[in-house]
């Protein structure tokens, strides 16, 4: 068993009406592939962490990358891990509203910063994903 974690950010290139179908795809497929993680959306940007068997994570990400509902897909991190951090049973999803961002002002600007800056501040990405996740291992 070889566990892997991939974090990426991207840009929604259509309107927000597609969000429910993206979420239901992720839940259905990730349950089948035993992937878990968290997908955040706010102000036109996605931030997602995917954890699971290396081959399953990379297989699913190969589809995600080609999905025409988003573009500017930037991998922020990919690495082998000893155990999962995001222990929710499948892919969590949160469309961050104003109140969610106000609850964590330290993350409010992160999703609107340039992708290269997001990559340089990976710790913020993981802290943000954890802050809004239903279940994490500290
Ligand atoms: C931002 C974003 C995140 C996504 N996350 C996942 C995911 O975690 N798992 C997944 O299977 N599909 C995810 N998708 C959907 C895939 O890109 C693709 O539509 C889906 O895997 C196709 O599934 P189907 O062949 O069963 O219709 C995501 C799409 C977007 C735009």
Residue 34 lies in domain: 3-131
Q: Does any domain span residue 136?
A: no
Residue 137 lies in a domain: no
pLDDT score recorded for residue 40: 97
More confident residue, 32 or 92: 92
* Residue of minimum CA distance from atom 21 in ligand 1: 63
Pocket (CB within 6 angstroms of ligand 1): 10, 22, 25-26, 29-30, 39, 46, 48, 50, 60, 63-64, 67, 69-70, 91
Residue 36 included in any domain? yes
- Residues 93 and 48: their CA atoms lie apart, in Å, by 9
pLDDT in tens, 79-102: 999 999 998 778 899 999 999 999
Give the pLDDT band (50/70/90) at residue 138.
low
Has residue 121 been placed in a domain? Answer: yes
Which pLDDT does position 50 carry in this prediction?
Answer: 96
Centroid of ligand 1 to alpha carbon of 15 (angstroms) = 16
- Is 103 within the bounds of a domain? yes
Asked, for residue 138, whether it belongs to a domain, the answer is no
Number of independent structural domains in the chain: 1
Q: What is the CATH classification number for the domain harbouring 22?
A: 3.30.70.100
List, as own/partner pairs, every contact residues 96-105 make where C-beta atoms lie below 8 angstroms and the sequence separation is at least 24, other chains included: 96/40, 96/41, 96/42, 96/132, 100/42, 100/132, 101/42, 104/128, 104/131, 104/132
- Reported pTM: 0.94
- What share of the chain in percent tops pLDDT 90? 80
């Amino acid at each position: 068993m070889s566990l892997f974690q991939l974090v990426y950010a991207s840009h929604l290139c259509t309107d927000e009406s597609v969000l429910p179908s993206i979420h239901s795809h992720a839940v259905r497929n990730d349950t089948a592939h035993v992937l878990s993680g968290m997908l955040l959306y706010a102000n036109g940007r996605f931030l997602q962490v995917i954890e699971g068997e290396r081959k399953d994570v990379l297989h699913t990400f190969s589809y995600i990358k080609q999905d025409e509902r988003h573009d500017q897909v930037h991998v922020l991190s990919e690495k082998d891990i000893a155990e999962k951090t995001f222990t929710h049973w499948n892919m969590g999803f949160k469309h961050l509203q104003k109140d969610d961002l106000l609850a964590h002002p330290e993350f409010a600007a992160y999703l609107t910063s340039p992708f290269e800056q997001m990559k340089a501040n990976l710790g913020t990405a993981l802290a943000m994903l954890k802050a809004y996740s239903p279940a994490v291992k500290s």
